[in-house]
Structure 1
């Protein structure tokens, strides 16, 4: 009898494994269950893991999550008593996979970490493959839990392990997860880059699981980037690959639902949502919640708010069931937005308050810059938009302005505050209206604050479609004025009936700065209703607080009364009024070197510069001969010597940066050569020295405190970066974090000769006026006399503090 049972167990195990290979997951579960029963009856404990591990997978893929969890607990108990380190790591990892699918993401992440510890350093290729699997699953759980910085770090490690294993399929899956993490914080272009990396790694003989995940995540990235037709093609490939695998098919349906919704095919999307919800088992809380949120979004757009609210309440209940705090925060936010649309202000206030209460601890728990900015970015825009609308609903203009400021004063303000001890005297909380008025008076500046309002996506809280633009003007005499531009279009004019893809509209502007009609349309939208409040005349100052894509708008070139805005006043951009308040608190920069300083640090004439590519190669850059002349001319203005040629190395710059009172760089810069979010993006390319490749990275810059009050970045597109609710993640932000008060940067690449003319003029005017904002205005106007095209002179921008008023101590 014992021999028969053993033989039956082995036959059923082999049948089950074959069924799994063929994607017949229910049959695999049935055969493996019979095999396990036979082994248990014979007391063959040593043979159990050969059946339990694939049985857990089969139950999970068949959508039987409750049973999968029970089997995973059994497998984990067996491994704890009888298994070696690899067995224990496998069993704990399987448990993590199951609870992640159920939606208990934090528990899943803890399980994957525990499994990695149990595994230790892999001894062979099998151990390396297990390590990759655990890292990939950990990164996925962290991303879904909203811990984006950690997710990026872990998935990038998984990507590197896959390359070490020479496994294109594993590299594809890791890159696909990196795309998903980037999408989670709204970085659509970065998500698409990683999605295409994953797509290129897929081979024709890869199994359906790989194709389904890679093409599904690529479909999301394409859809969110506005490439609808390509997204639908990728979705069809994902659907074809996932069709025979119940769990993956359900995930593919959720992805297809979002793609259809974004494509405007609402009837199909609702029908698919109904079918999906009818088919999803109650135990799949995460997938059901996503489907309900998507259906709610469609119903809101169709003018059926009551049905939408019912869906959102059901989705929130599911998130509460699995203790998904990030999902709960998003759920309350969606409900606040929905109730606001129905006019139920008390309900909207209640859910907005609950969203805030859940969101703040998540932000505090973020372990790094990317994580905190990612969380802030995901919730701040939508949450503060609701808060603004609640205030504006009762005509509380200043209250709405304060809510807008809370939505942009995030992790960057904390970093700026920590950069210099004296800034600790400024309150940690964002300024209210009285502090804003005092700030405008003290700076002698008009403050222009923008708050674009969007069509909020119910599934994620992200907001790509622009609905209207609110703007506040705070004048030095204490006045606070509010206007709203409700007509918005994807043309040069604005059309209330058609929301705009904001990022695409800004991209069009970046490509066509010289288009007079386009510039006039943007000027009407952004300045037309407040033109009478804008300052004009000698020493007139305008401080602009943009948000989202408005960071890329060349405000200097927007026409006002037939002349560019820069001709009537100096312009300064700041990420928030809180940031300006912190920077300006001790802003006593002077053109003369402060006691104990080393004067100006001027860098140019770099030779043989290189930048790393995502695949680890070093890409040589062309020398920029005129930058040596620029550096020498700037150094003469400040009675300093330029750090140039072979001397312009990373160690030399870092050695002098801390004591310099002014920084100037004329050389190549790259926004993000490493294609990563878990590091501060960007680097300045200096002269290589020995084993050091000349990469002055943002990470190095941010960790090198400097006494400099101003940094001039005569490099390519140093004002660009990853646009978030917390400002732009790029080189200019890095210098603010390092303690610099004012950064001169460019919005796009400018030819060498006009860059030379503009920057040398800027430093000459700075030496005369001690006023960075006014010095840049004069330099831009001088450059405009020689180089009339706004594509050249409008690129220069000043970020941070405009500088103290003359005579101000």
Structure 2
């Protein structure tokens, strides 16, 4: 009886696979389910597992992701019980693809990493390439574009070794997509054209369809809209012919973008509405969000502000569900949030264009929602774990923002960088121009709004706000803590400081407090995190710090959370301070050499003076190893680190503080290590170069400062450029002297800077340092 049932089940498998290959999916599912039932009756676990895997793949292709996941999970369970490495690897691959298509990127990442691990264990290059491809595509979806390029290049090498032309063509397409995301459009087009040639050679209709879609997007990116439209029309015809509804959504979105760029708004709107309808039927969260965002853009250009607002709010709600799907994976939340920023930026413009007080305040709430979300979640989770109170991750309402300004008796200034949309006489054309939106919440709780176009202020002089800030930093920086004494500020430096003052401060100057001791809390965004606000000077050559007491925060909500971290510290028994100065320097390994770092005698003198002022424990030279420093940091109230620092502005988490190396440790305290610490410090001073810099994202600056906040610190002092050794020591000892006069931290830093000005130190000697956090 078992033999007969086995033969029947095997026949059903062959029939089911034939139905599947002929795209007769409903018949394939029915036949394979019958085979599965028979294999279960006779107890054939191997073929039960194989059949479950095939069913999972078919459900995935039908965009029925819950069933794809359910069958693939059953397949995985049995494959592991049978110790079937190949079957387990394939099950991980299928699960990862289904989770990714569903928008659950956290689960997808885990599955793809598991599949790659198993493939390497088997030394199976085909499985390894498949796992690398999936990981590369996931990194692309998460905004990790350079990682995606690297992985797809590795895949291409494997495939060319194997002589697999079909997958070589597909990988060339994936590599082109990654290059496109890196804005390397010519390289992207070259990859797509090579991929198209292979797809046509192999008569691969799916491959041709995919590459034509990519070519359309690439030509759109370089402004060739008519050519982009032609490719998108071909893409749409192929998607319909192939019956691929997800590709149809993509084609409709791309075609609508080209139509809008060509001035055909009604065609764009109709295509996007159709795309949204299909995406909703498929349950495709990402495509729904993209379609809603594009609908909001088209309606905005058409002047239909209410419709635009509704579409963009709906897009943002969908984006939030994707972030939730990542669980506790902070790095990928940051990258994914970067991709979603356009919806937040566009919605702010839609709201303020309506010129109503309630809409302008709603735009402030959206601006706050659109920043530091991953950091807020990290801080709230940490606070909730160490307190009986549950801390919410929801952005504060306008009423809550007013209450914070009143309770702190501070003026809060929130900046938002967005893009203006200008209508040209020759037709409807969108120009991406940096524009500043500025909200001022006064100590009374009254909210004011101003806006300022960046490029129109300096026509032909700068291409972007980022270029202005980069030029400012280049002019202000020295070679580092071991640099020679600084020269007098040049006229060029003074000019750009005045230009930034005109751009950032002049529009709101009448709203700022008259009393110089009153706090101004600056909430920057984007490149504004790197602006030395203290040294911006007005037309009378007076520095901003001479008139105001300043501190910054990544967002209003992080300001609130850092303040709560300070409250928690006051309830603890932490009392001692830690000072580190001029540790035995580690070496910096580059691609070409190992470079020993120079000692910092000024940092050592600074540390000894600061330790004396604080009556603190001081670590100098070889004493300041990472193990010792970490042990002392864990329960220190004030932490002062005077040393070299390493800036990583690509990944951010590679930024590091230099400590003394040992036989077992190179001596670098990395930002990613700090992120995992549990600290109780009310103040950390990073008296080193570029400690406030890092990778710039929608979540703020990924680097040392963010890691210390996530670890529980309430206030930080960090630097924006390479600071000189001797003047830095002077500034820091003056800061602690002022702090001992019962001034708050923000006022103490201001007084230290005023003392430097009085002694005729130039701004680059003292203005690099900024105070960040809720405990002023």
Do 2:15 and 2:31's aligned partners in 1 also have CA atoms closer than 8 Å?
A: no
Q: Does 1:226 align with 2:183?
A: yes
**Does the C-alpha gap of structure 1 residues 513 and 653 become closer, same or farther in structure 2, counting only changes over 3 Å?**
closer
| 1:531-555 deviations in Å (ceiling 9; x for gaps) | 3434566324322112234333443
Supply the distance in 1 between the matched residues of 2:43 and 2:195 (Cα, whole angstroms). 37
Do 2:142 and 2:335's aligned partners in 1 also have CA atoms closer than 8 Å?
A: yes
Question: What residue is the counterpart of 2:426 in the other structure?
Answer: none
Do 1:603 and 1:642's aligned partners in 2 also have CA atoms closer than 8 Å?
A: yes
Question: What residue is the counterpart of 1:530 in the other structure?
Answer: 508
Q: Does 1:337 align with 2:297?
A: yes
| Matched residue SS, 1:448 | strand
Question: What residue is the counterpart of 2:553 in the other structure?
Answer: 574
Do 1:80 and 1:88's aligned partners in 2 also have CA atoms closer than 8 Å?
A: yes
**Does the C-alpha gap of structure 1 residues 634 and 531 become closer, same or farther in structure 2, counting only changes over 3 Å?**
same
**Does the C-alpha gap of structure 1 residues 41 and 414 become closer, same or farther in structure 2, counting only changes over 3 Å?**
closer
Q: Does 1:660 align with 2:636?
A: yes
> Which residue of the other structure, out of 366, 379, 389, is the alignment partner of 1:403?
366
| 1:176-197 deviations in Å (ceiling 9; x for gaps) | 5555434434455665566666
Do 1:388 and 1:401's aligned partners in 2 also have CA atoms closer than 8 Å?
A: no
Q: Does 1:436 align with 2:413?
A: no
Question: What residue is the counterpart of 1:269 in the other structure?
Answer: 228
Number of residue pairs matched by the alignment: 739
| 1:212-246 deviations in Å (ceiling 9; x for gaps) | 34433333333333323233223333333444333
**Does the C-alpha gap of structure 1 residues 325 and 760 become closer, same or farther in structure 2, counting only changes over 3 Å?**
same
| Matched residue SS, 1:719 | coil
Supply the distance in 1 between the matched residues of 2:95 and 2:721 (Cα, whole angstroms). 38
Do 1:169 and 1:206's aligned partners in 2 also have CA atoms closer than 8 Å?
A: no
Supply the distance in 1 between the matched residues of 2:223 and 2:711 (Cα, whole angstroms). 45
* Gap regions ≥5 residues in structure 1: 1-39, 457-462, 804-809
Do 1:152 and 1:676's aligned partners in 2 also have CA atoms closer than 8 Å?
A: no
Question: What residue is the counterpart of 1:546 in the other structure?
Answer: 524
Question: What residue is the counterpart of 1:584 in the other structure?
Answer: 563
Supply the distance in 2 between the matched residues of 1:429 and 1:407 (Cα, whole angstroms). 11
Question: What residue is the counterpart of 2:450 in the other structure?
Answer: 483
Do 2:585 and 2:658's aligned partners in 1 also have CA atoms closer than 8 Å?
A: no
Supply the distance in 2 between the matched residues of 1:796 and 1:612 (Cα, whole angstroms). 27
**Does the C-alpha gap of structure 1 residues 745 and 114 become closer, same or farther in structure 2, counting only changes over 3 Å?**
farther
Map 1:693-708; keep pairs closer than 5 Å: 696=669, 698=671, 700-708=673-681
Do 2:415 and 2:439's aligned partners in 1 also have CA atoms closer than 8 Å?
A: yes
Do 1:384 and 1:406's aligned partners in 2 also have CA atoms closer than 8 Å?
A: no
**Does the C-alpha gap of structure 1 residues 404 and 323 become closer, same or farther in structure 2, counting only changes over 3 Å?**
same
Question: What residue is the counterpart of 1:450 in the other structure?
Answer: 415
TM-score (norm 2): 0.80
TM-score (norm 1): 0.77
**Does the C-alpha gap of structure 1 residues 430 and 650 become closer, same or farther in structure 2, counting only changes over 3 Å?**
same
Q: Which moved more, 1:311-320 or 1:746-755?
A: 746-755
Do 2:660 and 2:667's aligned partners in 1 also have CA atoms closer than 8 Å?
A: yes
Supply the distance in 1 between the matched residues of 2:370 and 2:108 (Cα, whole angstroms). 24
| Matched residue SS, 1:280 | helix
C-alpha displacement of 1:302 = 2.9
| Matched residue SS, 2:138 | helix
Do 1:453 and 1:469's aligned partners in 2 also have CA atoms closer than 8 Å?
A: yes
| Matched residue SS, 1:413 | helix
Q: Which moved more, 1:73-82 or 1:142-151?
A: 73-82
| 1:516-545 deviations in Å (ceiling 9; x for gaps) | 465555444433422343456632432211
Supply the distance in 1 between the matched residues of 2:698 and 2:722 (Cα, whole angstroms). 24
**Does the C-alpha gap of structure 1 residues 439 and 388 become closer, same or farther in structure 2, counting only changes over 3 Å?**
farther
Root mean square deviation of aligned Cα? 4.6
Supply the distance in 2 between the matched residues of 1:510 and 1:568 (Cα, whole angstroms). 22
Map 1:201-212; keep pairs closer than 5 Å: 207-212=164-169
> Which residue of the other structure, out of 271, 274, 284, is the alignment partner of 1:314?
274
Question: What residue is the counterpart of 1:472 in the other structure?
Answer: 439
Question: What residue is the counterpart of 2:483 in the other structure?
Answer: none
| 1:363-404 deviations in Å (ceiling 9; x for gaps) | 444311435445544446514642662354142232322332
**Does the C-alpha gap of structure 1 residues 654 and 289 become closer, same or farther in structure 2, counting only changes over 3 Å?**
same
**Does the C-alpha gap of structure 1 residues 685 and 147 become closer, same or farther in structure 2, counting only changes over 3 Å?**
farther
Question: What residue is the counterpart of 1:249 in the other structure?
Answer: 208
Q: Does 1:639 align with 2:604?
A: no
* Gap regions ≥5 residues in structure 2: 422-429, 478-491
Question: What residue is the counterpart of 2:424 in the other structure?
Answer: none
C-alpha displacement of 1:94 = 4.5
